[in-house]
Amino acid sequence: MRHFKRIGVALAIVLGVLGGLAWYVRSLPWRNHCGDGPTARQSPGRAANSAVATSQPLATKVAADVLAAGGSAADAAISAALMLSVVEPGNSGLGGGGFALVHDPRTDSDVSLDFRERAPLELDVGQLNAALGKDPKALRNGALAVAVPAEWQGLVALHRRFGRLPLAVLARPAIAAARGGVPIGRDYAARCWMRLSSLRNDADARRIFLTARGGLCPVPGWLLRQPELADTLAALTDDQHPRS
């Protein structure tokens, strides 16, 4: 009888592990799984013949709201990008860069902005190779993994050429979300476990992105609060003290 109990317990453990593994693999971002997640509803207003698509419903909603408020397509893209830096920190943020392709109906021309990150001008390739020889993961963790950020400069350039609403207005939803917190999803949890050791080794990353108890990856539904990011966005878009 004890033998069967042990077999039952072992089988339950195996099934539990396999179930957790299946959930984890299904949640991995590189699978590009398209589920029936929430979508932003149609916004009333003056945004005729327009559409918004992002990887996060909150970012989609703020962009649609900007269009409904009379903002330009560039305004909507800026607002969405700033919200993505809050709700999707593993993919987006002020530490990165981007591209923008805009059709200007006033001149019937297409404008392309390239504000991707660049390597530092004084980067020493020899020192970089030496660092890689000591640590093959040097380009994934630490200072050598970061290029010169350009996202904010790119968004400012986009706004100067095609924006209508003030930057402070466009950043307001992202600032509120960063300060009040946003519930994380399965993609965040999956990415977190993939990078747990690096997050735990950095005091600030551990404090912001991991649980207070144990320094572990949170479960879906946990509130991600980023007050420092909120302060940074507020400072960058302060009309009284512009920093752009």
pLDDT category at 172 given cuts 50, 70, 90 is very high
- Say if CB 104 and CB 73 are below 8 A apart: no
**Does residue 173 share a domain with residue 61?**
yes
113-117-120-125 Cα dihedral, nearest 10 degrees: -120
Q: How far is CA 62 from CA 67, 69, 77, 172, in A?
A: 9, 10, 9, 10
Average pLDDT on 218-223 reads 95
Question: Which alpha helices (H) appear in the chain, and where do they start and end?
Answer: 2-27, 57-68, 73-87, 125-134, 151-162, 167-180, 186-194, 196-201, 203-209, 227-236
pLDDT of 144 reads 84
- Rounded to the nearest 10 degrees, the angle between the axes of helix 227-236 and helix 73-87 is 150
Is 24 inside any structural domain?
no
Of residues 10 and 58, more confidence is placed in 58
What phi, psi does 100 have (nearest 5°)?
Answer: -145, 130
State yes or no: pLDDT of 243 exceeds 60. no
Q: What is the mean pLDDT of residues 31-41?
A: 46
Question: Is residue 206 domain-shared with residue 229, that is, in the same domain?
Answer: no
Are 122 and 110 in a shared domain?
yes
The confidence score (pLDDT) of residue 33 equals: 40
Q: How far apart are CA 139 and CA 79, in angstroms?
A: 30
Does one domain contain both 117 and 159? yes
Using the structure block, give the residue that is written with the tokens 């029936």.
36
Selected residue with higher pLDDT from 32 and 185: 185
Residue 4 lies in a domain: no
Structural domain of 130:
38-181+225-244
Instruction: Please state, for a pLDDT cut of 90, what percent of the chain lies above it.
Output: 64
Checking if the pLDDT of 150 tops 70, the result is yes
Cα 68 to Cα 41, 44, 118: the distances in Å are 12, 6, 35
How many residues does this entry show for the chain?
244
46/157 Cα distance (integer angstroms): 25
- 199 pLDDT band, cuts 50/70/90, is very high
Per the CB < 8 A criterion, the answer to whether 203 and 166 are in contact is no
What is the model's pLDDT at position 138?
85
CA torsion 31-79-183-98 (nearest 10°) is 40
- pLDDT confidence of residue 41: 59
The set of residues, in sequence order, having a beta carbon less than 8 Å from that of 201 and lying 6+ positions away, is 141
Whether 99 maps to a domain, the answer reads yes
Q: Is 163 left (phi over 0), alpha (psi -120 to 50) or beta?
A: beta
- The pTM for the full model equals 0.80
Q: How many domains does the chain have?
A: 2
